A and B are shown apart, each in its own frame.
Chain A
Amino acid sequence: MNPSAADQIVTETFLDVRAKLLEIAATLDRVDRCLDESGDPLGSVAPASGRLGSVANDQQEKLREGIRILLSEGPDRAARLQHLFSRPYQADWRETMKV
């Protein structure tokens, strides 16, 4: 662990990461705005994911879980995000497919 290198990474990437966070925030706002315009009362406290179609709802839930992973500790956030967005491994695939 090199604290000065960590400082350098945070400083150098700050604007890039800030921009990515803003893109995420703006996208979530856009979703909420669409739901408001489609008849939901402005200021509704219901989470957007509860008012989406089933496919979009599942995707939105995955994104929310992804955001929780970003806020967690540990060196393997990228790998954990990848697993979140992956179908699980089925070890018995050869028997199931008869290959």
Chain B
Amino acid sequence: MDYIDPHIHMVSRTTDDYATLARMGCVAMSEPAFWAGYDRGSVDGFRDYFRQLTQTEPKRAAQFGIQHFTWLCINAKEAENVSLSRDVIAMIPEFLDAPNVLGIGEIGLNKNTKNEATIFLEHVDLAVQYNQSILIHTPHLEDKYQGTRMILDMLTGDSRLDRSRVLVDHVEEHTIQEVLDQGFWAGMTLYPVTKCTPERAVDMIERYGGERMLANSAGDWGPSKPTAVPDLIFEMRRRGHSESLIRKVVYDNPIEFFSKSTRFEFTPRDGVQTV
């Protein structure tokens, strides 16, 4: 089955991974900007990273018939440096017209601090100002619930936002309902230890129905599995779910959400373009 991975960090993966993903049915992916494993020292470090996301990765992906899209921001971890964050936010518009940019992301919170919240709000303001969709990272482990609630407080407090253009990622059993109830998209990240297994993700699909729900691998430089979305497809098939529901979660929903972005142009294998 053709599928789309809406959250994967290919800058951290090998070309062999692109080949494997293509063989497993991946036809498109979106790559949010994230923490590189170290704190970058200047705005030029981010400028080079954004060139990698908007120029290099689309070419690597295209070699295997995969369409590559991206999201730009300074991540929550480096947002502790408010001065650098503001320099990066001021520089982001240089790249917003690149053909594979879907919006601002993955913005969010890491340790739920005042600085992180301040920079989150400034990113949201940038997105509104430039009519961009938003992809949001929610914190890990014991910080996830408080961080998700803080993010929802900030988003619902901004009447300018179109909630159908906001994806709140890394939801788990204790956060998904509030995200969906507030009208946002919910992303489930299939991660070996710290987030959600394919089995638990299918449990959530069964409980909430699949509407406004996405599944991703978030494959990156840490313990992660870039082929996790096919694992979800396999688990849904094993439980007897219809092909139409599987396709909705791993293909139709990403296209529907991405289509909220003004620059999204997608050509499926059957050749009918989605704009």
* Chain A contacts to B: CB under 8 angstroms: 76, 78-79, 82-83, 85-90, 93-94, 97-99
Contact = CB atoms under 8 A, between A and B. Distances in A.
B146 A79 contact: no
B182 to A, nearest CB: 14
A1 to B, nearest CB: 13
Nearest to A89: B149
15 contacts: A76-B173, A78-B203, A82-B174, A83-B174, A85-B141, A86-B143, A86-B145, A86-B174, A87-B145, A87-B146, A89-B145, A93-B150, A97-B113, A97-B114, A97-B117
Contacts of A88: 145-146
* Chain B, interface SS category: helix
Contacts, number: 45
Contacts of B118: 99
B172 interface: yes
Given A82-B172, A89-B146, 16 more contacts: A78-B200, A82-B144, A82-B145, A82-B173, A82-B174, A82-B175, A83-B145, A83-B174, A86-B146, A89-B145, A89-B149, A93-B150, A93-B153, A97-B113, A98-B114, A99-B117
Interface in B139-171: 141-146, 149-150, 153
Central interface residue in A79, A86, A98, by most chain B CB within 10 Å: A86
B19 interface: no
